[in-house]
């Protein structure tokens, strides 16, 4: 393909699987590849956004970092869908729990993704687009979690453009609308998937709960989210 390699991805044609797991942290991608995959090859080191392809339970699967925020995941997921013929991207990330029924280490499945981003303006739509997960991936994730006896909470998440928000009441306002957790990427991933006619799902492990002051360490965030990883790998 004439579009690859790209300025952000050094992979050649055929080096990336049809299903890609996408953590924000490239070191989490490295951990997943080294822990769960066999016959692993590294297809990308550009900007240290590590990407690997290997085998899990006899199926080829790739894992690649997506970075922090909508602009970053927007670039990487767009290229995977449109230049590398990827069919499924499963975001596996951390999030801050804001709903009363969400706690540290819970796995949240993002059925939809609210956002304060203007990412959808590029589509020039005559209204407001509602970014949602692909039902097949969502349904299979729920059934896998039930089989593995992993507790999940399913619903709306917030993809925020701001980590430090000048509006100190913002999260409380989203909480009143039933939003479960806040992260920074799912909405763009869901929009890119919709526009490309591909599939996407966001799985999140709650790393902190700002309203009650609970939080995990950086090391726990990088290597400790094994339940979420196992659900995602089962979807490959």
Identified catalytic residue from 85, 100, 161, 208 = 208
Cα 152 to Cα 14, 141, 167, 227, distances in angstroms: 34, 10, 29, 10
For residues 150 and 148, give the distance between their C-alpha atoms in angstroms, rounded to a whole number. 5
208 carries an active-site annotation: yes
Active centre residues (catalytic): 208
């Amino acid at each position: 393909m004439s579009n690859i390699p790209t300025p952000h991805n050094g992979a050649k044609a055929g080096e990336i699987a049809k299903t890609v797991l996408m953590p924000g942290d490239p070191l989490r991608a490295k951990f997943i590849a080294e822990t769960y995959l066999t016959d692993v090859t590294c297809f990308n080191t550009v900007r240290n956004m590590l990407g690997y392809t290997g085998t899990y339970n006899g199926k080829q699967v790739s894992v690649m970092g997506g970075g922090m925020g909508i602009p970053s995941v927007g670039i990487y997921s767009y290229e995977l869908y449109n230049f590398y013929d990827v069919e499924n991207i499963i975001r596996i990330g951390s999030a801050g729990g804001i709903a009363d029924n969400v706690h540290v280490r819970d796995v949240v499945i993002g059925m939809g993704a609210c956002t304060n981003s203007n990412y959808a303006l590029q589509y020039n739509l005559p209204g407001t687009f509602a970014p949602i997960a692909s039902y097949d991936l969502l349904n299979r994730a729920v059934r896998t979690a039930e089989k593995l006896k992993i507790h999940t909470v399913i619903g709306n998440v917030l993809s925020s453009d701001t980590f430090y928000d000048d509006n100190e009441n913002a999260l409380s306002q989203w909480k009143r609308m039933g939003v479960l957790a806040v992260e920074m990427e799912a909405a763009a991933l869901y929009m890119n998937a919709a526009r490309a006619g591909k599939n996407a799902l966001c799985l999140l492990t709650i790393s902190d709960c700002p309203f009650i002051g609970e939080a995990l360490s950086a090391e726990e965030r990088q290597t400790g989210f094994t339940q979420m990883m196992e659900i995602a790998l089962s979807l490959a």
